[in-house]
C-alpha cells in the first residue's frame, strides 16, 4: 500500500516571538516492511538554522532555530510511504513463550546493557505504579503465553478507557488516565506500556499515522486522519510485535510508523522553546491518502 501523508501544524502567538528552537520528528522510518519513498518539510518563517540528525533510537529528527520576530509558525510535512503488513502474528501466536519466562524478567534485564533493557525501566511518562500493576495483572495468568496476555491487556484497555479528545493533555500522568478512564491514543498507549513494564515486560511507544476509512457511502473529510500512537512488545527470538489498544487491533498496512521510543516524550512530533510572553494556539491537520 502506498500513501501520501500531509501533516500540517500551525502555531499562532498572542505576542511576537523573538527566538524559537524546535525539534521535529515527522519523517517516517525505513523498516523491513515500510519504505519512505520521499519526505519534505516546509517551514515558515524560514529557519535560520536547520540540521537533520538521527537519534539514539534511529529516528530522523530535524532541529530548527528561528531568530527573526514572528507571530506564527507553520510546519508542513509531506511524505510518500510504501507499507506492507509489518508484523507476522502467526509467529507470535504460535510462540511457546510464557510471559513468566525468566528471559523477560525485569530482575534479569535491568542489569542487561542491551537496547531492550531501557524498555523495562521507568521513563518520563511511564512510572512504576502499584495501581497500574493491579489493573494489568489479571491479564497475565500464571501459565499464559506472552501473546495471549498482551491481547488480553489490549482488550481490557480498549473496554475500560473511553476515547475522549481534549480530556487529557500530553502531560497528563498515566495514573490519572487510569483513574478517570478517559483519554486519547497516547494515553491508551502509555497505559498499556505501563501495564507491561510493571509486569516486567519490555514495551515501547510507536508514533505515526493511521488511515481513517469513512463509513460506506460517505466521503473522506480533509484533515480527518490523525497522528496516532500504539505499542510494541518485545518477544524473545521474534522481535517487536505491535498492538493498537485504541482500536483493539494489530497494526497493519493502515499504520505508518514515524518514530519509536520509550514514551511520547522521546518522539513528540514538534517540541521546543520560544522566547515570548503571550499565549499560543495550535492547529493540526493530517491527511493520509492512498496513492494508486
CATH number at residue 213: 3.10.620.30
Residues 256 and 282 grouped into a single domain: no
- R_g of the chain computed on alpha carbons: 20
Q: What is the pLDDT of residue 223?
A: 46
Residues 33 and 143 grouped into a single domain: no
Find the domain containing 53 and state its range: 2-83+269-290
Neighbours of 78 (CB within 10 A): 16
- Cβ distance 84 to 113 under 8 Å? no
- From the list 201, 261, 200, 199, the residue with the least C-alpha distance to 230 is 261
- Cβ distance 267 to 260 under 8 Å? yes
d(CA 278, CA 14): 5
Residues 142 and 190 grouped into a single domain: yes
Q: What is the pLDDT of residue 93?
A: 67
SS3 (DSSP) at 233: strand
Per-residue pLDDT of 151-172, as tens digits, reads 999 999 999 999 998 899 989 9
Q: What is the pLDDT of residue 249?
A: 92
How are the residues of the chain apportioned to helix, strand and coil, as percentages rounded to the nearest 5? 20, 40, 35
Residues 241 and 99 grouped into a single domain: yes
Residues 235 and 100 grouped into a single domain: yes
Residues 124 and 166 grouped into a single domain: yes
* Crossing angle (nearest 10°) for helices 146-160 and 185-198: 140
Domain count, the chain: 2
d(CA 236, CA 239): 6
Residues 31 and 76 grouped into a single domain: yes
CATH value at residue 36: 2.60.40.2250
Q: Which residues of 12-47 are buried (b: 16+ CB within 10 A; e: fewer)?
A: ebeeebeebbbbbbbbbbeeeebebeeeebebebeb
SS3 (DSSP) at 126: coil
- From the list 265, 262, 230, 208, the residue with the least C-alpha distance to 29 is 208
Q: What is the pLDDT of residue 40?
A: 97
Q: What is the pLDDT of residue 213?
A: 73
Residues 98 and 197 grouped into a single domain: yes
SS3 (DSSP) at 30: coil
Q: What is the pLDDT of residue 102?
A: 46
Per-residue pLDDT of 167-188, as tens digits, reads 999 899 999 999 999 999 999 9
**Residue 87 parent element (H or E):** none
- From the list 222, 229, 239, the residue with the least C-alpha distance to 289 is 222
Q: Which residues of the chain have pLDDT under 70?
A: 87-94, 102-114, 215, 218-224
- From the list 130, 128, 177, 176, the residue with the least C-alpha distance to 157 is 177
Residues 6 and 35 grouped into a single domain: yes
Residues 113 and 233 grouped into a single domain: yes
What is this structure's pTM?
A: 0.91
Residues 14 and 68 grouped into a single domain: yes
SS3 (DSSP) at 88: coil
Q: What is the pLDDT of residue 87?
A: 65
Residues 242 and 188 grouped into a single domain: yes
Amino acid at each position: 500500500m502506498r500513501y501520501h501523508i500531509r501533516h500540517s501544524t500551525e502555531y499562532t502567538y498572542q505576542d511576537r516571538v523573538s527566538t524559537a528552537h524546535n525539534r521535529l520528528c515527522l519523517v517516517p522510518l525505513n523498516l523491513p516492511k515500510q519504505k519512505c519513498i520521499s519526505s519534505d518539510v516546509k517551514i515558515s518563517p524560514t529557519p535560520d538554522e536547520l540540521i537533520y540528525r538521527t537519534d539514539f533510537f534511529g529516528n530522523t529528527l530535524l532541529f530548527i532555530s528561528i531568530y527573526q520576530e514572528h507571530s506564527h509558525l507553520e510546519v508542513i510535512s509531506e511524505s510518500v510511504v510504501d507499507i506492507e503488513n509489518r508484523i507476522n502474528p502467526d509467529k507470535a501466536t504460535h510462540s511457546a513463550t510464557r510471559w513468566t519466562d525468566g528471559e523477560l524478567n525485569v530482575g534479569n534485564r535491568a542489569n542487561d546493557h542491551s537496547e531492550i533493557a531501557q524498555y523495562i525501566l521507568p521513563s518520563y511518562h511511564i512510572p512504576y505504579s502499584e495501581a497500574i500493576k493491579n489493573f494489568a495483572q489479571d491479564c497475565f495468568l500464571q501459565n499464559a503465553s506472552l501473546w495471549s496476555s498482551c491481547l488480553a491487556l489490549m482488550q481490557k484497555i480498549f473496554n475500560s478507557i473511553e476515547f475522549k479528545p481534549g480530556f487529557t493533555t500530553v502531560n497528563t500522568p498515566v495514573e490519572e488516565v487510569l483513574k478517570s478512564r478517559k483519554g486519547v491514543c497516547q494515553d491508551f498507549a502509555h497505559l498499556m506500556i505501563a501495564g507491561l513494564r510493571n509486569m516486567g515486560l519490555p514495551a515501547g511507544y510507536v508514533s505515526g499515522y493511521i488511515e481513517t476509512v469513512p463509513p460506506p457511502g460517505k466521503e473522506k473529510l480533509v484533515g480527518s486522519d490523525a497522528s496516532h500512537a500504539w505499542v510494541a512488545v518485545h518477544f524473545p527470538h521474534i522481535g517487536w510485535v505491535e498492538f493498537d489498544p485504541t482500536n483493539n487491533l494489530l497494526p497493519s498496512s493502515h499504520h505508518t510508523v514515524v518514530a519509536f521510543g520509550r514514551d511520547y516524550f522521546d518522539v513528540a512530533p514538534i517540541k521546543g522553546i520560544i522566547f515570548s510572553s503571550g499565549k499560543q494556539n495550535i492547529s493540526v491537520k493530517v491527511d493520509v491518502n492512498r496513492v494508486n
